[in-house]
Structure 1
Amino acid sequence: MGLFHEQLKSHNNYEPGDRTYSLDGNQIIGDISALAVVRELSPKERTRSSIQPLPSLSPQQAQNLISRLGKPEIITPRLEVPFQLWGALIEHGGWRQSLYQRRIGLAEQWSVLQWLESGVSQLAQQLGWHSLNLQLSPAGARSVEEIQSGTILSRQLAIAGQVYELCITPKSESDTTVWRFELHNAAPGAAIPGGFKLKLLTEDLQPFPNNEDIATTAVEQLFVEVALEPGEGIVWEIEPLPENYDQEILRF
């Protein structure tokens, strides 16, 4: 006999010490194809127990958790806090990545300003980010204002069988820097199909005014421009989702 999620959670075989459920060998279905047969025989049987929604974390709450749980001497960080907090933290791809970096002793890998000054970090390069036409004005330039405008950072993305390019360009305007996120088809002359969406979110995945661009018909490009405070984090999203997409927090 096999157990569904609903049955598993009601069999009182939960171990609170390590937050695991255990099963006897005779309760495990060896042939996974048998699951389809069970569903056909009992189509209305409840198979999943209700799951409490995870809470929303503020960026400050997330950073506090990362600082606390990122200490390498903590062997099992998931057991150090209530599951709801742990689940909310690691559900966010960017925070999960930050926790991983902290636990293995890596410095900040997602600082856009550091990418412009010192080159794209090794971890970001592994995910496809690279610098494009990176040029600095007089030697010693260290601020965005001293970087000539133009496409600075780029990442190729596979979406719906085609390759697209996401570019980030700084634009200096009076006393602030505006960052332009632009998506275009990597093939010369090819368009972005209708229905595509480029969207920016705050670090805690909240929308803000003018945070997205939608292609109602085929277009050459999608773009969103945003002014950010020093240290502010931004998460980009594209619909349809790129292959192997995971949230990443770009720090400005």
Structure 2
Amino acid sequence: MNPGLLDLILFSEKRKDFLVLLKEGPRNIEETLEKLQVTRTALLPQIKKLKEENLVIQEEGVYRLSMIGEIVVEKMQPLLETLAVFEKNEDFWADRKLTPIPHHLIKRINELGDYRLIEPDLSHTFDLNPEFVKYLSTSNCIHMFLSYFHPQLPAFFLSLSRKDIEVSLILSEAVYLRFEEDFRKECEEFLKMKNTSLLILEKKDIEIPALIASTDRIMTLGLFNESNRFDRQYLISLEPGAIKWGEELFEYYRNMSREIKLELKI
């Protein structure tokens, strides 16, 4: 793609929106104006430029993508979605360690979609984040990886499993030791249940996230910042693509872990 064509596509929101709209199917001008909420005088000059570059064809008052346009838009959309993910919270991403996310999932980070950030709640400084608790408590199946410790987590996981929620946990070695040493009773009860499993990450000397939670309802991700601290900012998405992405990230760490049985030995 020549630089002029790249500029044509990326440097106009109207042109980008129009191309993405045509990916759904041909449109006449009235449908287009209604969908994009723009004026005719604002859009027609942009359509003219796209027609001149053979990206759009107009036939009997109906616009559609050319074959070249279809190819370009198919390749363009993941890029636009990726840019949208990073642009939505630039400061957050600039200060996060992304190395715990494997390359094949970083390449698909656009699948996070329309996510939100859950910020630390000063009124619950010493508690688990209420929104995080709410989403997990209303899920049917929870797959979670943890490498940071919070003293309320053992009781919380036990309460989830008592509701017959399927709970599968992967813990870093340091977090597992805290669970075993300080919460042995809760840990043993958790392991006795048929709807639970507990694993410990065996792979050493790798960068890991603070938290991954993939449920049938949400995907939640917590990443350490460049100072190697977890500031309790969670990324959360309810989109199906993000939930699948989070499940694959969980599986990536499950493949480097081993299951813990009731004897609670490392």
The normalised TM-score by structure 2 is 0.28
Select the structure that is richer in helix.
2
Select the structure that is richer in strand.
1
